[in-house]
Amino acid sequence: MIADYLKDLVTRHREDYRAGAVATYIPELAKVDPALLGIAIAFQDGRVVTAGDAQVTFAIESISKTVVLSLALLDRGEETVFRHMREEPSGDAFNSIVKLQTGSAHVPSNPYINAGAILTSSLIKGATPDERFGRVLDFMRKISETDDLDLDRETYLSEKATGDTNRALAWMMKSYGDIDGDVEDILDVYFRQCSIRVTAVALAKIGRFFAAGGVLSDGRRVLSVREARIVVGLMTTCGLYNGTGTYMVDVGVPTKSGVGGGLLAAYSGVGGIGTFSPALDAVGNSVAGMRMMDDLAEQLGLDVLMPTVDASKLK
């Protein structure tokens, strides 16, 4: 039943990409076919159901912030991670410098805007950028239960060549004493984490991990319940940039987006959902991905505010 429904869902939304456009400010992302569309659900019972282009690889981009936040919490602890960062929506664009300059504390509003994500990357343990990125990649492979995730070098070089706004954010945080270490080394890790190639299936499995409170499908605990709650809680309030509020009212499922066209969603008791469609709205979120999530949440009763999950539809 659910497999047929996902196929119908992809067919119904196949043309929705026409309402958006691929990201062009990172040249490599501009080359992606906007008509690609895929979805995957990784259930808590171990099943993975897919439809469409769910196995096509793409750059994870800002969805990586959930993974790196998890690793930073493990490496440094909650108190250290949020010593120079808040846990609130910013109200500004994801790459805005305004709050850093005008806010009374001069710190990022949350770990899912670029400034906060760069700060989070600076907290990953390792003696060199290569070692720190290697730990990020290994951790992402672990919680996605996908061993072949890897860096897309072309996207990484494209990110690095066009990342001047991120450099401005990093240097301003350095000037306020919010981050330690070599700025270019920190940015190198950040650019690389955003350039890891994933699939909708891998995102669904990461979503399942968070939905299970930081536990892998084989029962191994990786994050504490508190740490998983931090990651998912911030997805609920800050996961889709300035579109988060409307999305949570309409869809009601904790979700993180990336400008590569992915969505990662986590729903406790069900599992994780991953979608891929690279055409974005004006805020930077996947148009077709959000529309599929809206239909899926309504069909299955996935709403964290008013949960009405119909188990018979999950078969």
pLDDT value, residue 87: 81
Per-residue pLDDT, 137 = 98
| Catalytic-role residue among 65, 99, 205, 256 | 65
Selected catalytic residue, list 259, 267, 277, 287: 259
**Nearest Cα residue to 66 out of 193, 154, 171, 170:** 193
Catalytic residue among 17, 156, 241, 267: 241
- Fold entry, domain 2-58+198-314: Beta-lactamase (3.40.710)
Sequence-distant (≥ 6) Cβ neighbours of residue 148 within 8 angstroms: none
| Two structure tokens written together for 293 | 């999530």
Positions in the chain short of pLDDT 50: none
**Exposed / middle / buried, residue 4 (Cβ in 10 Å: 0-12, 13-18, 19+):** exposed
pLDDT digits (tens, 9 = 90+) for 241-272: 999 999 999 999 999 999 999 999 999 989 99
Q: What is the pLDDT of residue 259?
A: 97
Check residue 103 and give its pLDDT: 66
Q: What is the pLDDT of residue 310?
A: 64
Residue 104 annotated among the catalytic residues of the structure = no
- With tokens 């869902």, the residue in question is 9
Q: Contact at 8 Å (CB) between 241 and 283?
A: yes
Dist CA 7 CA 51 (whole Å):
5
Could you count the other beta carbons within 10 Å of the beta carbon of residue 103? 13
> Which strands sit side by side in the sheet containing 38-43, from one edge to the other?
48-52, 38-43, 271-276, 262-267, 255-257
Rounded Cα distance, 155 and 258, in Å = 14
Is 99 one of the catalytic residues? no
Fold identical between 2-58+198-314 and 62-194? yes
List the chain domain ranges. Answer: 2-58+198-314, 62-194
Alpha helix locations (H) across the chain? 2-13, 64-76, 78-81, 98-102, 114-122, 129-144, 153-161, 164-175, 183-194, 200-211, 225-238, 244-250, 287-300
pLDDT of residue 101: 75
Concerning whether 17 is annotated as a catalytic residue, the answer is: no
Pick the CATH number of 62-194 from 3.20.20.140, 3.40.640.10, 3.40.710.10, 3.40.47.10: 3.40.710.10
267 is catalytic: no
Asked if 50 and 70 touch (Cβ cutoff 8 Å), the reply is no
pLDDT at 1: 83
**CA–CA distance from 281 to each of 4, 94, 112, 153, 178 (Å)?**
28, 14, 18, 26, 32
pLDDT, position 104: 63
Q: What is the pLDDT of residue 306?
A: 57
CB 244 within 8 A of CB 284: no
Which pLDDT does position 261 carry in this prediction?
98
What local confidence, expressed as pLDDT, does residue 150 receive?
Answer: 98
Query: Do 262 and 289 form a contact (C-beta atoms < 8 A)?
Result: yes
Reduced to 3 states (helix: H, G, I; strand: E, B; else coil), residue 300 is helix
